[in-house]
Amino acid sequence: MHNKLIKKFLSFSYGSVIGAAIAFITTMVTTRLLQPEEFGKASMFTLFVSIAMILAVFGTDQAFVRFFYEEKENKRGALLYNCLKVSFIILVPVLLLVVVIRIDLLNFLFSEYSVMTFIVLLIAILVQVLYRFGTLVIRMQQKGNIYSMLEILNKVIILVGVVTFYFIFGKTYEILIYSTVISFIVLLIFLIYSQKGYWRLSNLHVVGSYHSKFEIFSFSYPLVFTTAVMWIFEGFDKFAIRQWSNFNELGLYAAAFKIIGLLAIMKMAFTTFWTPVAYETYQKDPTNTSFYANVSKLVSFLMMMVAIMVIMMKDIIIMLLGGSYGGSSLMLPFLVFIPIMYTISETTVIGINFHKKVKWHILIAIFVCIVNIIGNWLLVPKYGGIGASISTGICYILFFTLRTVISLHYYKVDYGLVKVYTSTAVLLVFASYTLSPIQPLDEQIIGLLAMGLIILIYSSDMRNFIKLRKRGSSE
């Protein structure tokens, strides 16, 4: 069982690891080609497309995930199209709204209006909606190798595109957005072709599927608000910098976020693997809580260790981006809490998901969103990107806490929360120390001490995991 899970996780992960390496190279190339102002504009494009996609999908992507294993195998294509029908009902007015407000919207995002950029924006929203479902079809079938290949191809196409478009358009943010959109178009075509059994138009007319469009809508509509609020929560820091600072500061913050994006890729790899496995395990044996406890402890330990290593290496990493981006290094320490706390929370939020208490996601998202807006309002005008990183990082600790506490009300699992919070406190102290102008000891020494403490905290759990691993190998 454990060997099988590890192999499955690795099949989803190797593409993310290779993709992360290529993405880092792309970031280094892009930051050498573009000034922070242009890099900041490209980040606004990505942020808006993501928010528009979430509104258009309307939570039906989560309905597809939730109902996939409950649907008969020969009716899963019908489930896909039922979800898409609901999504497209929302997509049309979203695109119309973008058309109506296009001049004001693009002036806010980029401080200029361009017909070509506007057309690319519309195409990007449509493609992202379809691409979202295309990747879910792969995920839910647990085809890790195909998913990994997509991750690698995506990063390669973007890298080639950035270099190619640079020689055509020069030092402008457009080279990054054009490359990204073309990459998703190519991968969408591949997804539809490789999984054509799901995408056959005949699935539009299949009757007798277990879940109707009304049921999909009923499950989805609470989630769309939650997801939209979550994206406001996740993206408000960039809007705050855009509003209360300048594009240069936004570019520095976006560059730091690109580095954190390498950790976010690990987060996505884990959640891609974890979501179907968690649901499948629960369907087979709801009493098997030790499985979730072991996974959560392992993930907590690994993510904390990765976070410390990233903070220790922050100056070296940022140096590779070029001299114009030196200020990004001070934004990294608190930004690491975003992928770390989110990934850990994915292992502890399962009680809410298993019992379909989706309205809790709304309340959690609203609360942390409000706290983050207040935090950015207080800190960004004075501290810029550093203030945004502090506010957002602390809010993710709150996000983890709320998800975990409420989840435990429905599904009792021993996650070892004392160890999680002790490790989080260690990481919080280390991140704060790196921002201090007075440092009696070198940051690297403090980092090694923090790493040693976390190893000590989780030593017994790691020994138990090694025992389980050996037992699985002998079976």
pLDDT in tens, 64-94: 887 777 777 777 778 888 888 888 988 999 9
d(CA 462, CA 299): 11
Please give the share of the chain, as a percent, with pLDDT higher than 90.
31
Task: Return the higher-pLDDT residue of 222 and 187.
Answer: 187
Averaged pLDDT for residues 220-236: 75
d(CA 132, CA 61): 7
Name the token pair of 297: 């402890």
Averaged pLDDT for residues 388-413: 91
For 141, which DSSP code? T
Averaged pLDDT for residues 239-268: 81
**Structure confidence by residue, pLDDT tens digits, 241-253:** 888 888 888 888 8
CB neighbours of 57 closer than 8 A, spacing ≥ 6?
87, 90, 129, 132, 224, 227
pLDDT of residue 162: 93
Q: Could you tell me if 475 and 2 are in contact, meaning their C-beta atoms sit under 8 angstroms apart?
A: no
Q: Could you tell me if 343 and 300 are in contact, meaning their C-beta atoms sit under 8 angstroms apart?
A: no
Q: pLDDT grade, residue 178 (50/70/90)?
A: very high
pLDDT of residue 304: 92
Which residue has 């705050």 as its token pair?
Answer: 240
pLDDT of residue 20: 78
Q: What is the pTM of this model?
A: 0.75
Q: In sequence order, what DSSP letters do the residues of 424-458 get, joined into one string?
A: HHHHHHHHHHHH-S--SS-HHHHHHHHHHHHHHHT
CA-only gyration radius of the chain, Å: 22
